[in-house]
Amino acid sequence: MLAKIKESAQFIQSKTNLKPTIGIILGTGLGGLVKEIEILHEISYEDIPHFPVSTVESHSGKLIFGKLGGKMVVAMQGRFHYYEGYNMGQVTFPVRVMKLLGIERLIVSNASGGVNPDFAVGEIMVLQDHINLFPEHPLVGKNIDELGPRFPDMSEPYDLNMIERAKKIANELGIKISCGTYAGLTGPTLETPAEYLYIRNIGADAVGMSTVPEVIVARHMDLPCFAVSIITDLGVPGKIKKVSVADVIEVANRQEPKMTAIISKLIASL
């Protein structure tokens, strides 16, 4: 695995001499942040050795190199999910590669379902913790000592400094945000009413099908993480409705400019 990670990173470095300090993973319906990036180079996933290729229609499948908030960034336009049939090593492979490219922080976005009864559709939630409900853990197997310890600490999965900066920025911009705990499940089905209730009862505020594996691997490599969810539907008793992917994308697209403004200014402040 380490040899494959290094080969991917070396291939990318052979195509560009840009050195990103911040990695960004763009979630469902949230790819518009790319419009704010001063793009200097792009590489398709299918051209990178050992890289998975996204099978989700709303995920483009490109590594974007450029400047955002005055910083050099590399953005994943399209991520990989466990429900696509990839194992956790493949899902988190790009995070490993971005670390070898030199990133010092990871920023993640996603669309998720809200189970906190105080949430509304379109709510922006900054992750302050998560609950891992995936059946496969990304660190199971032989540890890659060169990348991180066998038993990484997870007492601060999301960087407190970046969370406080984001809260201050949102307040200055007049954007309402909440902080909460995200539960990660496999999907691809959305949850049943009983499952939503279970997720709320175990302490989560939102639920989705991504983010947790990538953050675990990033923390394994000692990368500070910041993540934000746009609540695209509600799993609250009395508010549960039938939802399609198109509905999720529509809400995410509508709220994306606010999320983009927060992330852009957060990066500029680092």
- Coil/strand/helix, residue 97: helix
Q: Is the dihedral of CA 197, 201, 202, 203 positive or negative?
A: positive
Closest CA to 112 of 27, 237, 55: 27
The whole-angstrom distance between residue 221's C-alpha and the CA centroid of its chain comes to: 16
* pLDDT averaged per 10 residues, the chain (length 270): 97 97 90 91 94 68 94 94 94 98 97 97 97 98 97 98 98 98 96 97 98 98 98 94 89 92 96
What is the CATH classification number for the domain harbouring 262? 3.40.50.1580
Q: How far apart are CA 270 and CA 266, in angstroms?
A: 7
- Look at residue 28 in the predicted model and tell me its pLDDT: 79
- Look at residue 58 in the predicted model and tell me its pLDDT: 52
What are the CA-CA distances from residue 87 to residues 10, 36, 50, 265 (Å)? 23, 32, 13, 34
Amino acid at 153: D
pTM, to two decimals:
0.95
- Coil/strand/helix, residue 176: coil
Range of the domain at 108: 2-269
| Cβ–Cβ < 8 Å for 8, 49 | yes
Q: How far apart are CA 27 and CA 22, in angstroms?
A: 16
Query: For tokens 């990348």, what's the residue?
Result: 147
| Cβ–Cβ < 8 Å for 198, 98 | no
Domain count of the fold of the chain: 1
| φ, ψ (nearest 5 deg) of residue 20 | -70, 145
Closest CA to 164 of 91, 71, 266: 266
- Look at residue 27 in the predicted model and tell me its pLDDT: 87
Query: Which pair of structure tokens corresponds to residue 163?
Result: 């969370």
Query: Which pair of structure tokens corresponds to residue 122?
Result: 């379109």
| Cβ–Cβ < 8 Å for 188, 134 | no
Closest CA to 214 of 111, 90, 104, 114: 90
| Cβ–Cβ < 8 Å for 22, 263 | no
| φ, ψ (nearest 5 deg) of residue 32 | -65, -15
- Look at residue 29 in the predicted model and tell me its pLDDT: 73
- Look at residue 98 in the predicted model and tell me its pLDDT: 98
- Look at residue 54 in the predicted model and tell me its pLDDT: 66
Closest CA to 120 of 71, 70, 176: 176
- Look at residue 119 in the predicted model and tell me its pLDDT: 97
Q: How far apart are CA 124 and CA 129, in angstroms?
A: 15
